[in-house]
Structure 1
Amino acid sequence: LSLSQLNDVQSGMFSSRIKRFVIIDCRFDYEYEGGHISDAINLSEMADVDKALLGASDLPEPSTSENGPAGGKTVLIFHCEFSAKRAPTTAKHLRNQDRLKNVGAYPNIHYPEVYVLQGGYAEFFKSFPVRC
């Protein structure tokens, strides 16, 4: 996901298609506390990601990107400092766990819309400091 696309999502530009978006900051707690993207949640451990996203009581109904719920999609946006290691690894972990949880409903999963922010927090802060 590009920096400007995240800014557009936060601005509500896609609100007719996106019911909910979750920005997941995969950095360590001290990095998050030093500054973070507005509305981001800090999930730096895989177990926390599993619990918060796949253990939630309000999980989205399994679907594909093409046949998402009528009320709009839930979009997950992962990032770390540069989105080079932690965010892609965590996003891949979430996708794998989601697939395992929905093995009998293939190709449907709870979160078909999973993105990694290009350039991570470092670039987003440079481009959109007002959103941090």
Structure 2
Amino acid sequence: MSQPIRLLDKMRMKVEGNLHQPDKQHEDGCARSGISSSPLTQLHGKRTEQADGHQSSAQKKRKHSNHGNWETDQRQLYNLRWLSCLQEVDVKQIPDSEERVLIGDFSKACILPIEDGKHQDLKYISAHTVSALLLGEYEHVIHDYVIVDCRYPYEFNGGHIKGALNLYSEEQLISTFFSGQRSPRPRKRCRVIIFHCEFSSERGPKFCRSLRRMDRNANVYPNLCFPELYILKNGYKEFFQEFATFCEPRGYIQMHHKDYREELHMIRRKVRLVAGQRRRKGLFQMANGH
């Protein structure tokens, strides 16, 4: 006499049966190969039919209910696979996404060639690329650019890239790029901003992230006023070593130079003091557009 089959066994047999049945047209759009029903599957089907004869009406009702839930779960699984396939296709259709990184508002690929750098969330460019920018080799695609030197004033005065702005505090960053009561609107013209410090390891990346954070707070995502931000890889030190002719004056003063220790401590104390006052008074509301 046949023994009743547990619900778990029936669901397992159902899964095995689907794996051996010929495939129909799936909603997920992904290619699958059809496999004919095996004798083992047929045997499971006969055992299931025999077990049905010994089940009560309540057991059969529970069986059909669980079977319906299992089919619903399978359809949801197919839909997830279908969405995954669509997402993969969309990513591949983005122009140049495999070779270059998208700018901050995801509207296009970066114009300048990207280098590997210390921080994965930032986009680095080489000293050679900056020199090419200064020579006008990108003027046909870049309408405007700003080089932000984040070093302290005594470093900047000892030698800097021609045309660079010296911004070493977040207050200066706000007053330069968000000077009015209203924050600047996103531009259609291409504007590139390049940050650097002595080695582009701390101060440059810090201010680059600060500007991006202010820009995000001032706009509706993903719109940005300054979507194309870069870091000069290895900072002013490497640039001066390779392209001193683009520096004025032609010099390089280290941050920890022994002749400027007192000035370094004074500037750091001032920056910390002003930053504390800004946090207490909520001056970041200016960056939020209020």
Report the AA paired with residue 22 of structure 1: V
> Any conservation in 1 of the 2:150–2:168 contact (CA below 8 Å)?
yes
Indicate if the aligned counterparts of 1:2 and 1:117 stay in contact, CA closer than 8 A: yes
The aligned residue for residue 194 of structure 2 is 77
- What is the aligned partner in structure 1 of residue 216 from structure 2? 99
Instruction: Report whether the alignment pairs 1:110 with 2:207.
Output: no
TM-score with structure 2 setting the length = 0.41
Matched, 1:90 2:207: yes
Match of 2:242 in 1: 127
Structure 2: tracts of 5 or more residues without a match: 1-124, 248-290
More helix by share: 2
Count of residue correspondences: 122
Aligned CA RMSD, in angstroms, stands at 1.6
Paired AA for residue 195 in structure 2: F
Alpha carbons of structure 1 residues 60 and 21: separation in structure 2 relative to 1, 3 Å: farther
How far apart are the structure 2 equivalents of 1:46 and 1:17?
29
Q: Unaligned 5+ residue runs, structure 1?
A: 64-68
Contact 1:60 1:111 in 2 (8 A): no
Secondary structure of the structure 2 residue equivalent to 1:114: strand
CA shift, 1:50, in A, is 1.1
Task: State the shift of 1:120 in Å.
Answer: 0.4
Q: TM-score, normalised by structure 1?
A: 0.87
Divergent runs of 4+, >4 A:
none
Distance across 2 between alignment mates of 1:47 and 1:6: 26
1:61 Cα deviation after fit:
3.7
Partner Cα separation in structure 2 for residue 10 and residue 74 of structure 1: 14
Q: Letter of the 1:8 partner, please give it.
A: A
- Asked if the contact 2:150–2:166 (Cα under 8 Å) also holds between the matched residues in 1, the reply is yes
Secondary structure of 1:84's aligned partner: coil
Corresponding letter in the other structure for 1:127: E
Question: 1:16: how far off?
Answer: 1.3
What is the CA–CA distance in structure 1 between the aligned matches of 2:147 and 2:225, rounded to whole Å? 16
What is the rounded CA distance, in whole Å, between the counterparts of 2:139 and 2:231 in structure 1?
19
| Identical counterparts, % of pairs | 39
Structure with a larger share of its residues in strand: 1
Instruction: Tell me if structure 1 keeps the 8 A contact 2:142–2:192.
Output: yes
Match of 1:41 in 2: 165
Judge conservation of contact 2:178–2:184 (CA < 8 Å) in 1.
no
Q: Give the Cα separation in 2 of the matches to 1:81 and 1:38.
A: 15
Distance in 2 (alpha carbons) for counterparts of 1:56 and 1:17: 28
Relative contact order (C-alpha < 8 Å, sep 6+): which is higher?
Answer: 1
